[in-house]
Structure 1
């Protein structure tokens, strides 16, 4: 087999465009061999024969037309509208009593809804998940709730709330009632167990459609049984629901227990001082890294944001922040709702410490820093310039 020897000089002469300009002009799109035959471009042929608008690559082998363009027009695939999952006539109901502090579902709340969804879809399915919340909550349908029951004001005491849940329980007769094993959720579960006479299986560690398992004997043994009617789920034990969004259709309940004749007249949560709060319990943490030099401004910013101050290992090793403020695998592992990293590059041990944070905001001059990649929102700027700007904005809002 023989082929013509390629002559680059002749190819360049063939691409010359005589336009009369002082500088030579060449038409690079004119792909001509020195022999005069058009040069074959497999990439262009493949792009032209590709059928647009298909998810997978489809090639039309029947095309024999001359190639005009090197790139075929591509049709942009619009994201399909998610199909809402609707359960019109459920065979049974599964209650999920949520904390939903501030009208926002926490990661723990989503896990409880995921556990309820698991029980509702057991075997042949047919069940519906009913979310019980104190007020309005966001994204209940996406988290797996088919129905929604609003119990009323969120500042009522636990005794009255347990009476309300008991009233809904007697009216709708659910097969299972799930609580988060949290401070308020665990309290409500035990109050409801006492009032209803149902056996409570608390702090469930493993849950399937046929079995629920919890630790016993100080963690030295396990207790397994069929899923009872009343359960409280431990944190990070069941995965959240990630399938099609559900309907979250509101249910009107008329027979709610009256909010009166209670021994507790009023109850409220007294917020702790964020500056003295433990990092492991803080909801909002602001940490300083090697990019922060003005620690007076940093402390002023953390106080203005009502956040708990933290620091990277480098800052704590230098003695600029106390050792108990160190964030990371070698310090304190966080489970905060929001983490603001000021001038922190993001060492592996530091990223391990913030793996449980829901929202991460990074301020760093390096666009390719590991902390910037981890963050949901990044500000590529010097932390020394960002801190006074934030303080000025907060001052204007509070004025």
Structure 2
């Protein structure tokens, strides 16, 4: 005799049985000697269950509450959602104005970079960034996350460059900013030169390096650099300053009522840009690309969905090698590197050379059955489903919306 208690397996099995019914069910987590008592008579602990009870919900890293309020059996209160921190500048020392292009009424990549550059100058002088845009812009809700402290909307003349410059000059006279930044785009550079000619203030174009103390731009065909203090007016070259990535700013509406510009009859008129046929655009110029991968088998359905979305068709290398799509539609390092606003990938896993082709795409949407695919990790929005089932749903939704 060893002195150890003898175990009765039939009795332990009966003790673990839960409820009654035709099919017996057993609670295997319950110790055989009773709740919390092992066969040796000692208290038995379940480390996994204790870890689950002490785990505080929410947060990026696991955190255990080992205090008295989170003991064994204590109920865990749901953690409140973290409040969004909004930075407010009530009494700025100066104003820095950003005049973005706002194509289609939204901030594009270069506009966000201009706001990021304005943020650099304003933070160094304890100032505030004012976004000067046209009235009636519907998609300026992201002005705060982009770095704008104030939001000044005026009635800009979209079809009259001279009137537009006159209105901007009147708004700048009311705001008295220290610096004014424009994007070095076709429209932004033209507006900046017109404003400089009207105000007589110095303009520095094509700035590639901007800090609180100096601005640098290339000159003499790029063989030399011009260095100066940040000027009153400047245009920022693309992809030279990072967009603002800090806390959300207030974007408080700022009332600016410039006088109406005089009519400019017989002068230059700017017509609205005419949209090109997306089916004939090159991938390098297309703003919206829908691509097919190995998960797409019905290419007639794929082409109808692309046409309904008014997008440009693309494909992965595997699809082009199989001859299902032309070689000109290949997206990737060995195909075309995109500079699109949105990229929708049907059934593309995301090989490294294909992800290199996404380049500077702002929004990526992935439809894939593999939750752990590289394309799903790259995407901002993912649909974990079969592309062959998602495409008919998109086609039917487009048909219902059009009808």
Query: CA shift at 1:18, angstroms?
Result: 8.7
1:103 correspondence with 2:108: no
Distance 1:289 1:88, change over 3 A: same
Aligned length: 389
Residue of structure 2 equivalent to 1:234? 237
Matches within 5 A, 1:18-37: 28-29=30-31, 30-37=35-42
Partners of 1:346 and 1:370 within 8 A in 2? yes
Distance 1:148 1:57, change over 3 A: same
Distance in 1 (CA, whole Å) between partners of 2:58 and 2:203 is 55
Matches within 5 A, 1:124-135: 125-135=125-135
Matches within 5 A, 1:239-318: 239-258=242-261, 260-262=263-265, 263-265=267-269, 267-318=271-322
Residue of structure 2 equivalent to 1:157? 160
Distance 1:322 1:215, change over 3 A: farther
Residue of structure 2 equivalent to 1:327? 331
Distance 1:391 1:245, change over 3 A: same
Distance in 2 (CA, whole Å) between partners of 1:89 and 1:250 is 15
Distance in 1 (CA, whole Å) between partners of 2:3 and 2:262 is 95
Residue of structure 1 equivalent to 2:15? 17
1:369 correspondence with 2:367: no
1:353-374 CA deviation, whole Å, 9 max, x = no partner?
1142222222233333222332
Q: Select 1:138's aligned residue among 138, 141, 146.
A: 141
Distance 1:392 1:35, change over 3 A: closer
Residue of structure 1 equivalent to 2:215? 212
Distance in 2 (CA, whole Å) between partners of 1:7 and 1:356 is 71
Q: Structure 2 length as normaliser, TM-score?
A: 0.84
RMSD value over aligned CA atoms?
Answer: 3.4
Query: CA shift at 1:48, angstroms?
Result: 7.4
Residue of structure 2 equivalent to 1:180? 183
Query: CA shift at 1:52, angstroms?
Result: 9.7
Distance 1:266 1:110, change over 3 A: closer
In structure 1, the gaps of 5 or more residues are none
Distance in 2 (CA, whole Å) between partners of 1:49 and 1:347 is 40
Query: CA shift at 1:177, angstroms?
Result: 0.5
Partners of 1:11 and 1:33 within 8 A in 2? no
Query: CA shift at 1:213, angstroms?
Result: 1.6
1:16-35 CA deviation, whole Å, 9 max, x = no partner?
62989897967724343443
Bigger shift: residues 322-331 or 257-266: 257-266
Partners of 2:53 and 2:76 within 8 A in 1? no
Secondary structure of the residue aligned to 2:87 is coil
1:305-347 CA deviation, whole Å, 9 max, x = no partner?
1111111112222333332221112221112111111222211
Query: CA shift at 1:84, angstroms?
Result: 2.7
Query: CA shift at 1:120, angstroms?
Result: 0.6
Partners of 1:206 and 1:212 within 8 A in 2? yes
Distance in 2 (CA, whole Å) between partners of 1:18 and 1:295 is 57
Residue of structure 1 equivalent to 2:228? 225
In structure 2, the gaps of 5 or more residues are none
Distance 1:86 1:68, change over 3 A: closer
Q: Structure 1 length as normaliser, TM-score?
A: 0.84
1:148-180 CA deviation, whole Å, 9 max, x = no partner?
211225633333221111111222221100111
1:338 correspondence with 2:342: yes
Distance in 2 (CA, whole Å) between partners of 1:328 and 1:251 is 45
Residue of structure 1 equivalent to 2:203? 200
Distance in 2 (CA, whole Å) between partners of 1:85 and 1:388 is 45
Distance in 2 (CA, whole Å) between partners of 1:32 and 1:151 is 76
1:238-274 CA deviation, whole Å, 9 max, x = no partner?
2222223222222222333425124134521111121
Secondary structure of the residue aligned to 1:281 is coil
Distance 1:169 1:59, change over 3 A: same
Distance in 1 (CA, whole Å) between partners of 2:376 and 2:399 is 27
Q: Select 1:39's aligned residue among 33, 39, 44.
A: 44
Distance 1:34 1:379, change over 3 A: closer
